[in-house]
Structure 1
Amino acid sequence: MQSQFSQQVAKIITLVVITIALSSCVSNKEILYFQDADQYSQDNVQYQHNTIQPNDILSVTINAAIPEAAIPYNKTVSSATTINSIDILKLQGYLVNPEGFIALPVLGKIKAAQRTNTELENLIVARLEEGGHLINPIVSVRLLNAKITVLGEVKQPGTFNFTEQYISVPQALGYAGDLTINGRRDDVLLIREVDAKRTITHLNLTATNWMDNPEYRLKPNDVLVVQPNRAKVKTAGYVGNVSTIVAIASVTLSAIILLTR
């Protein structure tokens, strides 16, 4: 009688473990990227210029035909300082304040926010020429603290700096070591704040139709959030993961067999 009871309990525990294991599995459709790549047709790549935002750090360099004439319009850098680090460059850069302005030598405050780098370059050139400061100046503006943040089910979540002018979603996920097996690839959140507006977009990495959208290329300060897939959520609702459940079930079964002998 006790032997039959222990056998029934063992069958029940085995059935529960198998059920949990099967419910925690994921299919290929949930973990493969760009599943319709064979149907994707070649298309022209469209680049959108990013606009300058508050808290950006800019490098602004002003040159002229006579280099000495442009010296007063650039920040003075100590000759003992070797600019070979991005961190040093940031300290020498111009911080865009919450109102969107930067303060340049001689020229004073200039509205930088909501302008592209090219637009700001043209504005500074116009100020220099119209004010009789320099003739045919050359102005270069570059963002020094471009960064993106990747959170959630990735191998190395964190904030990553980049020096390229454009970076794509796959590149950003590559910085974070790619998604874990528990990452939901059909619903990645993109949180973006541009020109005092915040948007949240859902990206489906298993398809290719979003690659032609503006969201394919990230903007500085974008945040990607990789949500857990159903397998991760289900195992989180139990003890933690399937291996833990199997271990507990094995111990329980062993205890029942010992007690019913």
Structure 2
Amino acid sequence: MRNILVIGLLLLIFGSCASKKDILYLQDSAEYNNSALNYSVPKIQPNDILKIEIGALIEESAIPYNRSQAGTGGASIEIMQLEGYLVSEENTINFPILGILSTKDKTVKEFENHLKKELQDGGHFKSPSVSIRLLNAKVAILGEVNSPGTYNFTEQNISLFQALGYAGDLTINGKREDIIFIRETNGNRTISHIDLTSAEFLNSEFNQIRPNDVIIVNPNAPKIKSAGFVGNASSVIAVVSILLSTVILITR
């Protein structure tokens, strides 16, 4: 009886442990070293908020084309969003002087070039400068990470690992080989599964975060096993130790 309990205790201890294979990132990274990047620039989507700044050789002539005349150097992101251009459900914005402009199927850079051409061809400016930035890009990171939440970013693009870095990385209980990745583009939802223990995903479109992506990190098997009545592995060991001591006292 005593031997059976000892064996059971050992099985519980080792069964609640995660192996190195389940924890380490990019275990086959050597196979993907120096591989080409697979990156596509996201298109402007409805409900995006754009910051648009127009510059000209004579600065005063560009004032009517800029929504805010005040400097935005120290402005918060919330104030900048209020002064930005909200993309409508029809993929348009209402721009001063020029009126309704379509953003459909255009990246930020492509819309910059389009707006610059409109200003030049319409005789508004000879050599205008156009700067556009997306103000409300965000990614939601949920589950077994150290700081789950929604994170804003203003960079042109960030990688999946950078996004996970915002959330403080996965906990030791995160299921690294099956990260759920939800992406919505043009009204279509895509749900994919990513294995962080393999470098293969680095060559996929999901290595780059797009605005409104959702990342879900599920708990691994040891975490799920420990989520029952006893709570965790240390509790299991304590309970089994008490049972073992009790049996030893009874059988003496």
- Scaled by the length of structure 1, the TM-score of the pair is 0.86
TM-superposed deviation, 1:256: 6.4
Residue identity matched to 1:97: S
More displaced, 92-101 or 187-196? 92-101
Paired residues for 1:171-186 under 5 Å? 171-186=162-177
CA spacing shift, 1:32–1:83, aligned 2, 3 Å: same
Deviations 1:228-256 (A, max 9, x none): 11111222245321222233334455666
Between the two proteins, the alignment pairs up a number of residues equal to 252
Residue identity matched to 2:54: I
Residue identity matched to 1:193: E
Paired residues for 1:222-233 under 5 Å? 222-233=213-224
Aligned equivalent of 2:45, options 42, 53, 57: 53
1:139 paired residue number = 130
Aligned equivalent of 2:85, options 94, 97, 110: 94
Distance, in Å, in 1 between the alignment partners of 2:122 and 2:47 is: 28
2:34 aligned with 1:42: yes
Paired residues for 1:71-150 under 5 Å? 71-78=63-70, 83-150=74-141
- Scaled by the length of structure 2, the TM-score of the pair is 0.88
Unaligned runs of at least 5 residues, structure 2: none
CA spacing shift, 1:130–1:197, aligned 2, 3 Å: same
The SS at the match of 2:226 is helix
Unaligned runs of at least 5 residues, structure 1: 1-7
Distance, in Å, in 1 between the alignment partners of 2:219 and 2:105 is: 35
Deviations 1:15-54 (A, max 9, x none): 4333222221111111011111233331233432121112
More displaced, 180-189 or 246-255? 246-255
1:152 paired residue number = 143
1:16 paired residue number = 8
From the CA coordinates, give the structure whose radius of gyration is larger.
1
TM-superposed deviation, 1:115: 1.4
Distance, in Å, in 1 between the alignment partners of 2:247 and 2:33 is: 62
1:4 paired residue number = none
2:230 aligned with 1:204: no
Distance, in Å, in 2 between the alignment partners of 1:158 and 1:132 is: 47
CA RMSD, 1 decimal: 2.4
2:184 paired residue number = 193
